[in-house]
Structure 1
Amino acid sequence: MNMPDADGLLMADKAFLALRDLLTRGGLRAGQFVSMPDLVRILEMPMAPVREAVKRAESAALVRILPKRGVAVMEASPALIRDCFHLRTILDQEGARELVRAGAGSRFEGLRTSHRHILDAAREGITSELQAEAMQVDWDLHTALSEALDNDSAREIYARNRDRISVMQHSRPLLPDRIIPAMEEHLLILDALASGDETLAAAAVRNHYHQTLRWWGIIV
């Protein structure tokens, strides 16, 4: 019986959270195949809740169930890369506009400092620790833009899309040739927000989107 544990979570819920964490942290890579017995072993949970977790992950477009074979992690195809980053950009642009309308575009000095730190460190040399820190700072800005919408439906869509992007990013993590430009593009977004110009802020978000697709090789 699938009873709640001491934390009040059903085993199936815990299994899904563990599977999602495994996927978004790169424990399973885009396009990778894993059998159900191996997944049970990796997650250290019984088969029944793992099966339910896999079904939920498939409904979230993170994996594809291959009957009698196992589970295939979502592919980082050019079409999916474009779709996911385009969706993020649509929501980020509106978040940027909301911040400007609210006169809140100049409140992100902490984020600006974090970006400058990454930028300075990257110019000295890239380490695996700096790559991980850069990815977190990258998401900190995008999260700030999405949260400006203050819309629960948009928040849910954004979170699901973020999970898919996170899986894809581990197939090609932020490399030295992308960390510096990405931080510079983010600083342009922060500058545009502080300027109080909605059009400029939205344009800076769109520019970041186009440069991201170029780095992925989707456009030239």
Structure 2
Amino acid sequence: MNMPDADGLLLADKAFLALRDLFTGGGLRAGQFVSMPDLVKSIGLPIAPVREAVKRAESAALVRVLPKRGVAVMEATPELVRECFHLRTIFDQEGARQLVRDGVQGKLDTLRETHQRVLDAARSGITPPLQREAMAVDWALHSTLADALDNNSAREIYSRNRDRISIIQHSRPLLPDRIVPAMEEHLEIIDRIIAGDEERAAEAVRDHFRQTLRWWGIII
């Protein structure tokens, strides 16, 4: 029976959050196989809620359950990489347009400053902490674009797709040669939003998508 824990969360919910943390933190990587006993050990919860968490992850296409064997994490195939980043781009374009329409450009100042600081630091030299910060800053912009839609259905789809992209990203670390151009592309998006130019902001989002795929070796 799934009983709430001390924090009021059902054990299955807690197990799923822990499973997601393994994905987003790189504890489970694309294409990896893990047995159920090992997964239970990693999550630190009883097998019943872990099974429920795995079922939820399977319904979100994050894993495949192999009967009597274990769990296989989704593979970062070129087709899936293109599909996931394309879906994010669809939402990001509309989010950029919506931010312009809402006239909240001034609220992007802090986000812009953070990007510029990471870019300046990256130009001086890449360190592991800076790589981790760059990934967090990268997601901060995409989350801002998604939140601008203020649409719960879109937010749910975006969140699931973000989980898939997190697994994809950990299949290939954010290398130094991508940090500088990624920050520059993000700043272009932010600057076009601040300038109040819907179409050029959306165009900058599409350019970021093309450059991201090119970095993954996918030409469109």
| Structure 2 match to 1:31 | 31
* Secondary structure at the counterpart of residue 189 of structure 1: helix
TM-score normalized by structure 1?
0.97
Cα deviation code 1:56-95 (max 9, x no counterpart): 1101111110111100011001111111100100000001
Paired residue for 2:158? 158
Q: Secondary structure at the match of 2:65?
A: strand
Amino acid at match of 1:168: I
CA contact 1:106–1:193 (8 Å) conserved in 2: no
Q: Which amino acid aligns with 1:109?
A: D
Q: Which residue of 2 aligns with 1:11?
A: 11
| RMSD between superposed Cα atoms in Å | 1.0
Q: Distance in 1 between matches of 2:96 and 2:87?
A: 14
Cross-structure match for 1:132? 132
What residue number does 2:209 align with?
209
- Quote how far apart the aligned CAs of 1:107 are: 2.6
- Residue 175 in structure 1 maps to residue 175 in structure 2: yes
- Secondary structure of 1:71's counterpart equals strand
| Conserved 8 A contact 1:97-1:198 | yes
Instruction: Give the AA of the match of 1:20.
Output: R
Number of aligned residues: 220
> Normalising by structure 2, what TM-score?
0.97
Equivalent residue number for residue 102 of structure 1: 102
SS where residue 65 of structure 1 aligns?
A: strand
Deviation at 1:9, TM superposition (A): 1.2
Partners of 2:104 and 2:45 lie apart in 1 by 45
**C-alpha separation in 1, matches of 2:34 and 2:166:** 19
**Structure 1 residue aligned with 2:196:** 196
Question: How many Å separate the matches in 2 of 1:31 and 1:24?
Answer: 14
Q: Which runs of 5 or more structure 2 residues have no equivalent in the other structure?
A: none
CA distance in 1, matches of 2:11, 2:197: 48
Deviation at 1:106, TM superposition (A): 3.7
Tell me the percent identity.
74
* Structure 1 residue 10 displacement after superposition: 1.3
1: CA distance between counterparts of 2:81 and 2:134?
20
Other structure's SS at 1:56 match = helix
Matches within 5 A, 1:5-154: 5-154=5-154
Instruction: Give the partner amino acid of 1:131.
Output: Q
Other structure's SS at 2:64 match: strand
Q: Which runs of 4+ in 1 moved over 4 A?
A: none
CA distance in 2, matches of 1:52, 1:107: 40
Q: Distance in 2 between matches of 1:87 and 1:102?
A: 23
Task: Encode CA deviations 1:96-141: one digit per residue, 9 max, x unaligned.
Answer: 1111112223431111111111111111111111011000000000
| Structure 1 segments unaligned to the other structure (5+ residues) | none
